Amino acid sequence: MLITNIKGLVGVHPKEKLVLRGSEMANLPVLENAWLLLEDGLIKDFGLMNDIPPSILHLPSVDAEGKFVFPSWCDSHTHIVFAAPREEEFVMKIAGKTYEDIAAAGGGILNSAHKLQQASEDELFESASLRLKDMIKQGTGAVEIKSGYGLTIESELKMLRVIQRLKQVFPIPIKATFLAAHTYPTEYKSNHQGYIDLIINKMLPAVAKEKLADYIDVFCEKGFFSVSETDEILSAAAKYGLKPKIHANQLSVSDGVQIGVKHQAISVDHLEETDDEVLSVLANSNTIATLLPSCSFYLNIPFANARGLLNSNATVALATDYNPGSTPSGNMNFVVSLACIKLKMLPEEAINASTLNGAAAMELSREMGSITIGKKANLFITRAMSSLAFLPYSFGQLQIETVILNGEIYNGWL
């Protein structure tokens, strides 16, 4: 497929650029008045319309006059396998209850776990597929999905098998993360070590045997998993080659970021509570700071200090956190808008954080995240737009006209 007359071909990073940090993130290379050639599911070549080789002019082509072509969004933090939404908690929040109040009253993650334990693998697969299709239509072309609503060995494995089926069926790269350490099941409320032993001695070997996970995650937070409990779980997971991507500093300052960096986490995610120590630990670190501004928006909690992280030369990615409790939305376009409006990221920084750095937060940036020859042809074409900044500016409005996956137009066929 040939795409011609592209007003702006966005994110033409060189092949060797696999992640961007600090001030580099403001550099988003855009080729104006360009063509793009896709072949065998990959990006084959691109250039300026003035120099288009006559030998390719006969190929079937899409005219993108006035439009921008972006690499697909890479959403590196989601929980899209769940049995039921939780809009009753939404109403409780409007009436003044906090996320912690709801969790303490048996709502929250335990509520989702209870419902998921009753659901069949097929039901979970169907509902997660619908969510994933919606995300793809909104421009997402690679995704990470976590377990963590099972909390028993059977149900955690059930969730991970659903993610494995999604991997087999969907035409986009998917990474699976094992998050049994999401909260303590009621029966282990006063026996934390009992649940940790279950994770370490029973769940981890079973997950590893079936090769069901790419990463390990822990919700390191007051009232959930302490820093030393997180340390113990990450050490055990390392024996199975599972690298961490952890939840840290969402509701309070802890040493969650420090413990993640100690274990060479791929990413530490949330960081709504970003103190100076977090900034200095992540400065120049290889661990990516993944920010989830639609979670802050929905829960009315602080927004992460993205500018502080960028000024500290950290590596910042953006993701949705799509889940039924804290972020019932998988729309990366909205995340990019919020990053500009609330995190004060420039459009260029927010787009890099949602493409190349999002891919890096799933160890996918050799194949995804930029318009680079040889990468997967997962991309989208916008409507005609006046400029690049129009996309985040027009928040809540879908500017995507055509989604292309593996070099083919996606029609929501699945």
Ligand X SMILES: N=CN[C@@H](CCC(=O)O)C(=O)O
Binding site for Zn ion (CB under 5 A): 321
Distance (Å, whole) CA 242 – CA 26: 32
Partner in contact with 378, chosen from Zn ion, ligand X, none, beta carbon below 5 to 8 Å by kind: none
Name the CA dihedral angle for 270, 275, 277, 283, rounded to a multiple of 10 degrees: 60
Identity at 23, one-letter amino acid code: S
Name the one range near ligand X by CB under 6 A: 321-329, 339-347, 353-361, 364-372: 321-329
**Closest residue by Cα to residue 150 from 113, 199, 108:** 113
Annotated binding-site residues for Zn(2+) read 77, 79, 247, 321
Residue in 150, 324, 358, 392 binding ligand X, rule: CB under 6 A: 324
Partner in contact with 144, chosen from ligand X, Zn ion, none, beta carbon below 5 to 8 Å by kind: none
Token digits of residue 251? 């509701």
> Is residue 407 a contact partner of residue 41, using CB atoms and an 8 Å limit?
yes
109 is a site residue for ligand X (CB under 6 A): yes
328 is a site residue for ligand X (CB under 6 A): no
**Closest residue by Cα to residue 341 from 276, 293, 384:** 293
What minimum distance in Å lies between the beta carbon of 72 and ligand X? 22
Residue in 46, 68, 215, 219 binding ligand X, rule: CB under 6 A: 219
Token digits of residue 101? 């109040």
Partner in contact with 218, chosen from ligand X, Zn ion, none, beta carbon below 5 to 8 Å by kind: none
> Is residue 310 a contact partner of residue 284, using CB atoms and an 8 Å limit?
no
**Closest residue by Cα to residue 155 from 138, 175, 174, 180:** 180
Binding mask 24-63 for ligand X (x = CB under 6 A): ----------------------------------------
What minimum distance in Å lies between the beta carbon of 268 and Zn ion? 12
Residue in 4, 140, 296, 326 binding ligand X, rule: CB under 6 A: 326
CB nearer to ligand X: give 324 or 330.
Answer: 324
> Is residue 414 a contact partner of residue 170, using CB atoms and an 8 Å limit?
yes
CB nearer to Zn ion: give 4 or 127.
Answer: 127
**288-291 and 2-10 as β-strands: parallel, antiparallel, unpaired?**
unpaired
Helix, coil or strand: residue 379 = strand
> Is residue 161 a contact partner of residue 212, using CB atoms and an 8 Å limit?
yes
Partner in contact with 295, chosen from Zn ion, ligand X, none, beta carbon below 5 to 8 Å by kind: ligand X
Annotated binding-site residues read 77, 79, 86, 149, 182, 247, 250, 321, 323, 325-326
The vertex-119 CA angle with 115 and 123, nearest 5°, equals: 130
119 is a site residue for ligand X (CB under 6 A): no
CB nearer to ligand X: give 219 or 334.
Answer: 219
Partner in contact with 324, chosen from ligand X, Zn ion, none, beta carbon below 5 to 8 Å by kind: ligand X
Token digits of residue 137? 């239509």
Residues facing 145 on adjacent strands: 176
250 is a site residue for ligand X (CB under 6 A): yes
112 is a site residue for ligand X (CB under 6 A): yes
CB nearer to ligand X: give 37 or 81.
Answer: 81
155 is a site residue for ligand X (CB under 6 A): no
254 is a site residue for ligand X (CB under 6 A): no
CB-nearest residue to Zn ion? 321
295 is a site residue for ligand X (CB under 6 A): yes
140 is a site residue for ligand X (CB under 6 A): no
**Closest residue by Cα to residue 180 from 127, 104, 124, 237:** 237
Stretch 70-89 residues interacting with ligand X (CB under 6 A): 79
102: phi then psi, degrees, rounded to nearest 5: -65, -40
CB nearer to Zn ion: give 64 or 116.
Answer: 116
CB-nearest residue to ligand X? 325
Distance (Å, whole) CA 254 – CA 397: 37
Identity at 402, one-letter amino acid code: T
Distance (Å, whole) CA 172 – CA 188: 37
CB nearer to Zn ion: give 3 or 268.
Answer: 268
- Integer-rounded Cα radius of gyration of the chain: 21
Residues engaged in binding ligand X (CB under 6 A): 79, 108-109, 112, 219, 247, 250, 295, 321, 323-326
